[in-house]
Amino acid sequence: MKATKIIRYALLLFFTLLMIRITLPYLSLETDIKFLNLKQWIIHNPVWKVSFFIHVLSSIFLLIAGFTQFYDPLRKFSTVHRMVGKIYILIIVFISGPASFVMALYANGGMPSQIAFSVLSILWIFFTAKAWIEIGKQNYIEHGNFMLRSYALTLSALTLRAWKYIIVLVFHPHPMDGYMIVAWLGWIPNLLIAEWLIRRKAAAEILTVNKK
């Protein structure tokens, strides 16, 4: 395995475990901890509250599931790959995706943040559903492409926090101003990188065919 792949997988595993550590306190279902201290104005809304815990707690599985889908040694176990992939798709399309959309409507930072997270939620559901449709057609290349796009948005849970740390450290913005910025930065660069990887892979395959 190339050194660059090892580094990429190691970083992905590290940040996935970090996200799991961040998420674990919410297993207590307490409503006055961490991020929820900023949402006391909406925490008593039962729809928002249920959506929050569904989205946050399911993210633990989704991050791990995504890692198993793209980590090459694990992909050799086709039965596990298919089973985990199906669960990943079903959770996003029917559970975590809709829950994230509800949360987006009440996002901190006002309209700019609400639009950013709403678009993120819609694209997350759409890309994942498309991956499901394409595998049903046995279109494996497009299935993989849409799964990559979906996972790029799943990783926004990590990249949003990374951007927030960098922006606060460098620019010291007002908290809500910073939140409006990371609401977009958290997922757009991820999606651009996913598109670049998809096109790079397609170009490499065309080059390989032309050499034959």
**φ/ψ (deg, to 5) at 148:** -65, -45
Residue 127 host element (H or E): helix 111-136
126: amino acid identity, one letter = F
**CA–CA separation, 212 vs 201, rounded Å?**
17
Average pLDDT per consecutive 10 residues, the chain (212 residues; last block may be shorter)? 71 76 85 86 93 89 77 64 89 96 93 96 98 94 93 90 90 86 95 93 72 61
**CA–CA separation, 12 vs 92, rounded Å?**
20
Query: Which distant-in-sequence residues (6+ apart) come within 8 Å of 36 by Cβ?
Result: 30, 43, 52
Give residue 176's pLDDT.
Answer: 84
At residue 69, the 3 state secondary structure works out as: helix
Q: What is the pTM of this model?
A: 0.89
18 close to 160: Cβ distance less than 8 angstroms: no
172 — alpha (psi -120 to 50), left (phi > 0) or beta? left
Q: Kindly list the domain boundaries of the chain, sorted by start residue.
A: 3-23+33-211
Sign of CA dihedral 184, 11, 91, 99: negative
